[in-house]
């Protein structure tokens, strides 16, 4: 992928995402089912369990046992013929955003990959798996994933009935073929501490698989300590452009232009859209008023976060990116997650300015 260059007001060439048309590749979708770069170093040993929330340490200990169980050789010979095959483990981590569930899920994937080989575990978000089914078809997806020992699903979504049924069926097929499963999702911010509402919803939606899943509660506070994009004022447009011009592999786009461009690119290709990009500048940032536009932006933020791409924001106050109505609606967990993640990336962008 080549980032197209555009000219800024000071005639310095800056990359742009708007002209990029990432090509589709089913092989690329499969190859991308690995732990994201942001969590490349995540391991059970690097997870800092908060002593005020004992469920965190308990989850680490249990997941280490699960990793060992997956890596344990299957019985062979007469023992295999006489014994009843033990179902592969299936675990679901229930908790709010920012408590380290993704760190734990990637740690599990890394542990299995290090013990059994890089091809032993697949890792992706709920959206990436539904996109894979759309690209390959259901049965080819089952065949491709059934070669794995472990399939990890981050951010299992319960707000789209059709996709939820699809994923429930996919998980059932994989479990029946002996593939271990691990999943996460978020409780809503206003439901934290009120019980296992997300777990109950998850178990209800996966229906036939509910009795196979072990629920691991991960309590705690958002370690990023934010539910807004950033407490700092937005940057000036020229500051964003000058900072981007000083760095290779940087891109700058008008916010309205990038939102329009996302509508022309399938969400499964948003990762490829960012190939080779190391800094993203967005000028003219404004509130998003349409739900479908906001949901596409959420996917882009997730891909930026996966890849640790710092973001420079110029325009209106980014704390008003999503309306109050959106933050109260059925997709609010996605929006709060996006705000939390974009906040972390915006702080990374400001750190680049401090280094200059």
pLDDT in tens, 104-125: 999 999 999 999 999 999 999 9
pLDDT in tens, 142-175: 999 999 999 999 988 766 677 878 888 999 999 9
Q: What length does the chain have?
A: 356
> What pLDDT, on the 0 to 100 scale, is given for residue 33?
95
Residues 6+ apart with CB under 8 A from 286: 255, 256, 315, 316
pLDDT in tens, 6-41: 433 333 445 999 989 887 777 888 999 999 999 999
The secondary structure of residue 18, as a DSSP letter, is T
From the list 176, 197, 188, 121, the residue with the least C-alpha distance to 153 is 121
Question: Which domains does the chain carry?
Answer: 4-23+225-355 (no CATH), 51-217 (3.40.50.300)
pLDDT in tens, 215-247: 898 988 766 554 455 566 789 999 999 999 999
From the list 255, 332, 280, 270, the residue with the least C-alpha distance to 300 is 270
> 312 by DSSP, 3-state: which?
strand
Output the average pLDDT for the chain: 84
Give the integer Cα–Cα distance in Å for 38 and 111.
Answer: 16
> What pLDDT, on the 0 to 100 scale, is given for residue 224?
57
Lowest mean pLDDT among 92-106, 184-198, 265-279: 184-198
């Amino acid at each position: 992928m080549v980032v197209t260059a555009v000219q800024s007001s000071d005639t310095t060439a800056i990359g742009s995402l708007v002209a990029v048309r990432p090509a589709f590749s089913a092989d690329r979708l499969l190859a991308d089912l690995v732990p994201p770069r942001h969590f490349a170093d995540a391991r059970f040993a690097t997870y800092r369990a908060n002593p005020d929330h004992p469920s965190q340490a308990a989850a680490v200990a249990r997941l280490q046992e699960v990793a060992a169980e997956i890596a344990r050789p299957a019985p062979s010979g007469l023992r295999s013929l006489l014994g009843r095959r033990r179902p592969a483990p299936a675990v679901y981590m229930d908790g709010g955003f920012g408590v380290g569930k993704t760190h734990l899920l990637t740690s599990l994937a890394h542990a299995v990959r290090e013990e059994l080989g890089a091809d032993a575990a697949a890792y992706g978000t709920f959206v990436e798996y539904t996109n894979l089914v759309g690209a390959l078809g259901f049965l080819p997806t089952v065949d491709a994933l059934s070669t794995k020992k472990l399939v990890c699903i981050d951010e299992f979504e319960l707000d789209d009935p059709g996709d939820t049924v699809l994923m429930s069926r996919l998980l059932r097929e994989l479990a029946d073929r002996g593939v271990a499963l691990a999943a996460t999702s978020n409780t809503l911010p206003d439901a934290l501490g009120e019980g296992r509402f997300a777990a109950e919803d998850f178990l209800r939606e996966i229906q036939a698989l509910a009795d196979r899943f072990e629920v691991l509660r991960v309590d705690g506070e958002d370690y990023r300590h934010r539910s807004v994009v950033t407490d700092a004022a937005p940057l000036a447009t020229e500051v964003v452009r000058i900072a981007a011009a000083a760095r290779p592999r940087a891109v700058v786009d008008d916010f309205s232009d990038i939102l329009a461009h996302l509508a022309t690119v399938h969400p499964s290709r948003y990762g490829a859209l960012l190939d080779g990009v190391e800094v993203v500048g967005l000028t003219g940032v404004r509130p998003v008023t349409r739900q479908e536009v906001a949901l596409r932006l959420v996917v882009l933020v997730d891909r930026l976060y996966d890849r640790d791409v710092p973001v420079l924001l110029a325009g209106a106050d980014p704390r008003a990116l999503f309306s109050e109505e959106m933050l109260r609606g059925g997709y609010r967990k996605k929006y709060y997650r996006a705000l939390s993640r974009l906040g972390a990336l915006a702080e990374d962008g400001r750190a680049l300015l401090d280094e200059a």
